[in-house]
């Protein structure tokens, strides 16, 4: 399951609102289309594909839209993703082991989505922890003996 089931379109709408608010002239014509978040005819379902789209498509495009003005870029993507003083994206957030931090950074500028992600994350962790840990362990049969054991 994609980390943001139900979120990509709301996130994209929020991103486009921030583009219009921070870029100024012609911003309405510079909005990001949904095709960036598609894999063929379906939404991206792989975290690795999302990272590739961010790194190779969206970040460079937004950097160009802002004329490399990292203050404006931080207004669009948020200060968690953009290091204004170093004039760069926080590339370390794109590492596979930083998945949750990247999600939080993407959602930080949209508090309504960020709060929803926190709830989904907690629910997912609770579901994961409620599953049996000793899958494949021997289980007693109807006679009280573990399968494969003889009385």
Q: What is the pLDDT of residues 4-52, one digit of tens each?
A: 555 678 889 999 999 999 998 788 899 999 999 998 998 888 889 999 9
Q: How confident is the model at residue 112 (pLDDT cuts 50, 70, 90)?
A: confident
The structural domains of the chain, with segments of one domain joined by +, span 8-112
Q: Indicate yes or no: pTM above 0.85.
A: no
Q: What is the C-alpha separation between 99 and 93, in angstroms, rounded? A: 7
Q: What is the C-alpha separation between 55 and 7, in angstroms, rounded? A: 19
């Amino acid at each position: 399951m994609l980390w943001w089931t139900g979120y990509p379109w709301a996130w994209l709408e929020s991103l486009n609102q921030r583009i219009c608010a921070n870029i100024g002239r012609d911003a309405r014509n510079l909005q990001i289309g949904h095709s960036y978040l598609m894999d063929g005819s379906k939404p991206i379902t792989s975290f690795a594909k999302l990272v590739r789209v961010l790194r190779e498509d969206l970040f460079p495009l937004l950097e160009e839209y802002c004329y490399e003005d990292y203050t404006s870029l931080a207004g669009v993507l948020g200060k968690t993703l953009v290091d204004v003083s170093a004039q760069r994206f926080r590339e370390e957030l794109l590492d596979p082991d930083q998945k949750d931090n990247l999600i939080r950074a993407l959602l930080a500028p949209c508090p309504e989505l960020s709060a929803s992600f926190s709830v989904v994350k907690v629910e997912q962790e609770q579901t994961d922890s409620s599953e049996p840990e000793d899958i494949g362990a021997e289980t007693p049969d109807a006679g009280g003996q573990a399968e494969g054991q003889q009385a």
